[in-house]
Structure 1
């Protein structure tokens, strides 16, 4: 049943483009043709005009509330690799998983994990030095976001041994040594087309060789999962071949609506208080003077021409939109994807109302980290941990989908 009461009632052209995975110019073309008619007062497109799109229907027919009630039938053990600052681990914890080991190379990220969860078994160091055969507990799920490296293809059979030297090989080795029921890997969307798809083909071959069936990979948009950020991640889920006929994996339902930056910064649906001031980068004086001229939601093209030329320098004469440059966020839209630093020239993330880069706690809220999750290390390390993380709410939704799968496997084994 369609539920219009709890859904968003209108969309900007830019947000609708993100939801539908279309270029913004496609939406603008529909507006020019009269297929979509924005409200004259707000310039927003009413939801009634886009109900025929399956992505919009998915909000209105969401099973999010029911899926939030999913709980493990028993204690499910989890190993996480490349754990970073804890976004995926926190989401998995919220879904009900018990972490038996988390591996991470970065010392500041390890300090963050230990500081917030002293009971977690955080193994700091190079994954190639971790012997997973020493883990005695049965492991139900292994997760991790392996950094994507180019593989060498010349004269190779593209199997498990041929990926040696890559971090994917180390994750594959962990799966081989641990033999979990299920694994989940996350990566950048670009992995789908990396090396013209050959990298993903190698990964698929190795997964099959390890004895797992890969669910058709899917790119998930964080804005669908109660995250006020336009972040996309490629998700790979593998089920052990001896269990594949016992249960089917279902992707998580989207949340009932899209949240905006204001939901991260102010008391409301996501947080019980306004965001607190926190350490953050600052602009040099001249850059601040220039950025003062950029309106909320605007970028370098909104500057006066002489300031465009000064700010962009040689880039002023090059083609392409370069929409991340001198970009100020808007409270009424989800944030652009966070990077590892908010003041990088190509991917500017300026506060919507104040002329400064986003502060560290604002960064964390956009990634849906709880306010009591305290990051350790210098400011640059904190931004890096947050910017590289899987958004916590998205991770929790994926975690519940994995719990549902394991519950189904459990029930089938009990009844067989």
Structure 2
């Protein structure tokens, strides 16, 4: 079992993907490219079970209350001691405790993962980049930015990597980081100069739809390999690109070779009851924000294509499941059968992100081990997450190369 230390964990999309052991729609699979070790039959028709990997999350961390509630409530059902595994708080504070000699991070870590805060690099935000207007506690700052502001928290992830010395680290952020000056090159160089050194594979933008996720979500991924642990004979192959550390695309708009067509929103919505007929609180819950003439989230999802990027900061303006003809809806015929004009439910957003249905995103403290999560919080953690299926592709590809990389 390979130990994973997870930072900026959110609700655990990356963690779940790295561990496997959950259902996905069968259309999201590609047995031709993954003939063994990936799939098993699910008890549900039209679904496939992703087999567990050799990775195990032994440490998870986030500062947000709703992330803690979601992570602990779900991973508690996966035979995880959530109270000792999940550490709520700022990564800055955790690193400072470690600097002072306290035992914080487990030993013998194999992989460090982390989606360091993206708001300052997103084209949808203020694009402060390294000069964030918020600190590591997510509170506004008036003074000059320091290494403790939100845009520089990757440096604290860097220090965790230096402390734990994993064989591999994987960092994730929004596509907008690539177009923000020299941010990508600065981050790559900072990651490269850790301890005895890391081979930082040039960052790449991965699109979730290329891995069977019904979503046009693009994220930049940084992967680093420990020079100390790496098999020297494979280094030239990595540098030349003949050994690709990134997973191959399994789905495409125009499939090539063994690729399959994109998975559509309609594919992943199959079998969902309308909110008023569902027993799933995550499916019962959706934003009641009215339709506006302009702005984000005022459009209807295209059932026959990829879904939009599920946003964490949408202020209730999550996209519509269906709109009337007057509001330029394409599925207004469904309204004639009595179905409502409404926005996406929390569960529909979760399915677009490839989360399994056994992950609850709306619950009260009475329904869990003292945790609670509102619909608003559910939307937020889903929108912040790495799609588990995309993370599974990264993990399984890395797993397949492990003995070659580190023999």
What does 1:27-106 align with in structure 2 at a 5 Å threshold? 75-94=1-20, 95-106=53-64
Match of 2:286?
A: 280
Aligned equivalent of 1:406, options 376, 391, 402: 402
Partner of 2:319: 348
The offset of 1:371, in angstroms, is: 0.5
Kept in 1, the 8 Å contact 2:288–2:316? The answer is: no
More helix by share: 1
Offset at residue 342 of structure 1 (A): 6.1
Partner of 1:186: 172
Paired residues of 1:184 and 1:237 also in contact (CA < 8 A): yes
Q: Alpha-carbon deviation of 1:378?
A: 1.5
The structure with the largest alpha-carbon Rg is: 1
The 3 A distance-change label for structure 1 pair 124 and 398 is same
1:144 equivalent in structure 2? 114
Q: Which runs of 5 or more residues in structure 2 are unaligned?
A: 21-52, 121-128, 133-145, 239-243, 251-259, 273-277, 323-330, 335-339, 362-371
Q: For residues 291-319 of structure 1, what are the alpha-carbon distances to aligned partners after superposition, in whole Å with 9 as ceiling and x for unaligned? A: xxxxxxxxxxxxxxxxxxxx54xx7xxxx
Please say if 1:390 is aligned against 2:379: no
Return the offset for 1:252: 1.2
What are the superposed Cα offsets for residues 125-157 of structure 1, whole Å, 9 maximum, x if unpaired? 11112145643430111001001442259xxxx
1:253 — aligned with what?
248
Q: 1:352-367, aligned counterparts within 5 Å?
A: 353=334, 354-367=340-353
CA gap of 1:404–1:246, structure 2 versus 1, over 3 A, is farther
Task: Give the structure-2-normalised TM-score.
Answer: 0.65
Instruction: Please state if 1:222 is matched with 2:208.
Output: yes
SS of equivalent residue, structure 2 residue 177: helix
Deviation at 1:170, TM superposition (A): 1.1
> Do structure 1's residue 123 and structure 2's residue 119 form an aligned pair?
no
Higher strand proportion: 2
Distance of aligned partners of 1:325 and 1:140 in 2 relative to their CA distance in 1, 3 Å threshold: closer
Once the 2 structures are TM-superposed, how far is the Cα of residue 215 of structure 1 from its aligned partner? 0.5
Distance 2:2 2:233 in 1: 17
Q: Distance in 1 between matches of 2:401 and 2:216?
A: 27
Stretches of structure 1 that go unaligned for 5 or more consecutive residues are 1-74, 154-161, 269-273, 288-310, 316-321
Instruction: Number of aligned residue pairs: give it.
Output: 287
Alpha-carbon RMSD? 2.6
| 1:331 aligned residue | 303
* Cα distance, 1:348 vs structure 2: 3.5
1:266 and 1:275 in contact (8 A); partners too: no
